[in-house]
Structure formats: structure tokens, C-alpha cells
């Protein structure tokens, strides 16, 4: 892991930037005038011009700063780079050094930027489920034994005296009450079972397509024209 004193800033272009609390600050876009431009977002872009001295480390993939996201937003969030405090002599000396470097190496670094898709998810209500209980009429048949009384005649010899107390003079009726059982039906509700209503998450894969802009380099000269 590189410390802030020996970071190869040319290698940090298009790499991820994070704050001291591992906050996602976006992506490194360019480095100039002792500042590194970190940009976050696609539509509502946030630009942070952070001094190089605030860098804490670089591991080849992520540049980490020793400030929190809130500190960086309050101090370095702006739409244009800060004014350079380099003096005329410093600029002249720097220009000479750059000219000498270009002359010695024959290379001029050109930063090419490209947009990156940041996809997030949010939870919304897609509808609702309605649980309805409704009565259903059924016919139930139950067999119930009932009892009723009937009269039977049983003949047998007299157990006592065979002489009648009164003479037979006329027809006589003797009433014997007979009983029977009648069926009475009543109904009462009871809980026959319980139904558990549950919600479960169902994961499906959606494809997101969006156009992004990428920069290419084109070289024009007196006698040649090149495109990648």
C-alpha cells in the first residue's frame, strides 16, 4: 500500500476514492495544481477538488483520504478547480521542467474519462393482497335415535281373587299417556382451523441498460491523422 508521499497519481485516474470512514466519494478524474478531482454521480454530479496532501494511502485500486465525507463536502465541493497559488516564477520553472520532461521522454500524458453506471435499489409498494373470509352454506346429515312409547297388550292369569268387585254394566275407557322424544336442532360457531398468511421475498434478475460516454484520443498533424 502506497503512502501519500509516494503515490503515483497518474495511476490513480479512474480509480475509486474513499473517505476516512470508508465513505464512497466517487472516482478520481484528474490531478492538477496540487489537487485531485474526485467526481461522484451520473446525473447530479458532485465534484471534489481535494488537496493532494489530504491523501492517506493508495493500494492500486482505492485512494483513501484522511477526511470524512462531511468534511470533504464542506471544504472541497465545487464546480470548478480552486485558483492556483503558484507564482509566476514557479509557473515558469514548472513549465521549463515540463518542457524538459517532454523533450527527454517524448511522452505527454492525456487523461481519458468514461462514465460509469452506478445502480442502486429502493423499495416501493407494488400493490396489496386482500384476504377475504366469506360464509359457505353446506348441508350436514346426522342420524339421531329417538324413542317413543307404544301400548302392548299382554294376557296372563289373575294373580289375586277371581271374583270381580263390580259387575260389568257398560263400556269403560282407560287412558294411558304415551311419551316420545322430539329432535331439537341448534347451531353454534366454533374455530375449526387457523390459516397463517405470510409474505416471502422472491428474487428476480432485471437487466439495466444505459448509454455511457467514453473519451477517445485523436491525433492530427501536418501529414497524418490517427484514430484508435
Over 90: is that where the pLDDT of 76 sits? yes
Question: What CATH number did the domain enclosing 97 receive?
Answer: 2.30.30.240
Q: Domain limits at 47?
A: 2-115
Over 50: is that where the pLDDT of 56 sits? yes
pLDDT digits (tens, 9 = 90+) for 101-139: 444 566 888 888 888 888 888 888 888 888 898 899 989
Question: How far, in Å, CA of 80 to CA of 227, rounded?
Answer: 30
* Contact (Cβ atoms closer than 8 angstroms) between residue 46 and residue 77: yes
Q: What are phi and psi of 102, to 5 degrees?
A: -65, -40
Residue 132 belongs to a domain: no
Residue 26 belongs to a domain: yes
pLDDT digits (tens, 9 = 90+) for 136-189: 998 989 898 989 998 898 888 877 666 666 666 678 788 889 999 999 989 989
Residue 209 belongs to a domain: no
pTM across the whole model: 0.37
- The angle formed by the CA atoms of residues 57, 59 and 61, to the nearest 5 degrees, is 120
pLDDT digits (tens, 9 = 90+) for 1-43: 555 457 889 999 999 999 999 999 999 999 988 899 999 988 8
Residue 142 belongs to a domain: no
Question: How far, in Å, CA of 95 to CA of 88, rounded?
Answer: 10
Query: How many domains, in total, are found in the chain?
Result: 1
Amino acid at each position: 500500500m502506497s503512502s501519500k508521499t509516494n503515490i503515483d497519481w497518474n495511476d490513480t485516474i479512474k480509480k475509486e476514492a474513499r473517505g476516512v470512514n470508508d465513505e464512497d466519494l466517487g472516482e478520481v478524474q484528474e490531478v492538477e495544481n496540487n489537487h485531485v478531482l474526485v467526481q461522484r454521480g451520473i446525473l447530479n454530479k458532485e465534484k471534489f477538488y481535494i488537496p493532494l496532501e489530504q491523501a492517506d494511502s493508495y493500494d492500486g485500486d482505492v485512494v483513501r483520504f484522511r477526511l470524512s465525507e462531511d468534511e470533504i463536502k464542506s471544504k472541497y465541493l465545487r464546480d470548478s478547480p480552486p485558483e492556483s497559488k503558484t507564482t509566476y516564477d514557479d509557473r515558469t520553472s514548472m513549465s521549463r521542467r515540463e518542457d524538459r520532461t517532454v523533450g527527454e521522454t517524448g511522452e505527454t500524458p492525456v487523461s481519458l474519462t468514461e462514465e460509469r453506471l452506478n445502480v442502486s435499489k429502493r423499495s416501493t409498494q407494488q400493490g396489496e393482497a386482500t384476504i377475504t373470509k366469506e360464509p359457505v352454506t353446506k348441508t350436514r346429515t346426522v342420524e339421531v335415535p329417538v324413542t317413543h312409547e307404544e301400548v302392548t297388550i299382554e294376557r296372563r292369569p289373575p294373580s289375586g281373587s277371581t271374583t270381580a268387585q263390580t259387575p260389568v254394566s257398560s263400556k269403560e275407557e282407560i287412558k294411558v299417556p304415551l311419551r316420545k322424544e322430539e329432535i331439537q336442532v341448534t347451531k353454534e360457531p366454533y374455530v375449526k382451523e387457523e390459516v397463517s398468511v405470510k409474505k416471502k421475498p422472491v428474487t428476480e434478475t432485471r437487466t439495466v441498460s444505459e448509454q455511457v460516454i467514453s473519451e477517445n484520443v485523436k491525433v492530427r498533424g501536418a501529414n497524418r491523422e490517427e484514430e484508435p
